[in-house]
């Protein structure tokens, strides 16, 4: 079974990918599992650039096929913020609750109907030798006025999913893995992984 490095220290993200790729013959491991502690600096101006930077760097360090993603929230009323700064929006070392409070405060004068937003995810898959594939996914919705729901992480409790009418954090893992931005990007990644498996079997 091939090992697939998921370029994250976040166990929640690993679990999501394990669910989405459960039927593929890969052993999914994290950066912590392979002893990589340092983070690649996300200097890209887009989610795709950051995913690419991380996938290439961690594939070289680990010698493993590596999947890296970069994702975040884009709020129309804030000109696309927080965007690539989603994890750092309220400042360094802040919690998810801090970031949610900071965002809601920025939107305090924005009425219902003007709070359109989307989660966007870019995925890059890199081989240690330099081969690279990319895919992305989007989930449309709006920012609610208060957090709700216990599942998920990040901005999930305030993101109202357009096609479900509930917060992302109110969806079960199985539901989230059908409609989320990461799930949609992962569908593209799955097709790439299937091609990699087929080539390995032919070799």
Tell me the catalytic residues: 70
H helix intervals, the chain: 11-20, 47-62, 96-106, 173-179, 181-202
Q: What is the distance between the alpha carbons of residues 194 and 196, in angstroms, rounded to a whole number?
A: 5
Q: What is the Cα 28 distance to its own chain's centre?
A: 16
What is the C-alpha to C-alpha distance for residues 190 and 19, in angstroms, rounded to an integer? 12
How many CA atoms are closer than 13 Å to the CA of 118, on its beta-carbon side? 13
Which phi and psi (to 5°) does residue 178 adopt? -100, -30
CB atoms within 10 A of CB 97: 11
Do the beta carbons of residue 182 and residue 122 sit within 8 Å? no
CA proximity to 142, closest of 158, 121, 120: 158
Paired strand residues for 75: 117
């Amino acid at each position: 079974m091939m090992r697939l490095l998921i370029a994250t220290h976040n166990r929640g993200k690993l679990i999501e990918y394990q669910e989405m790729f459960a039927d593929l013959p890969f052993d999914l491991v994290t950066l912590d599992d392979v002893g990589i502690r340092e983070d690649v600096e996300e200097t890209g101006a887009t989610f795709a650039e950051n995913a690419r930077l991380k996938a290439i760097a961690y594939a070289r360090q680990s010698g493993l096929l590596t999947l890296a993603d970069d994702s975040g929230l884009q709020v129309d009323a804030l000109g696309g913020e927080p965007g690539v700064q989603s994890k750092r929006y309220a400042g360094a070392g802040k919690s998810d609750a801090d970031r949610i409070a900071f965002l809601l405060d920025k939107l305090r004068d924005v009425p219902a109907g003007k709070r359109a937003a989307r989660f966007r995810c870019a995925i890059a898959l890199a081989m240690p030798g330099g081969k690279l594939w990319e895919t992305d996914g989007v989930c449309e919705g709006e920012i609610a006025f208060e957090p709700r729901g216990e599942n998920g992480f990040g901005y999930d409790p305030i993101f109202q999913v357009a096609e479900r009418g509930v917060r992302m954090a109110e969806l079960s893992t199985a539901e989230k893995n059908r409609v989320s931005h990461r799930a949609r990007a992962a569908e593209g990644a799955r097709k790439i992984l299937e091609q990699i498996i087929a080539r390995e079997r032919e070799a």
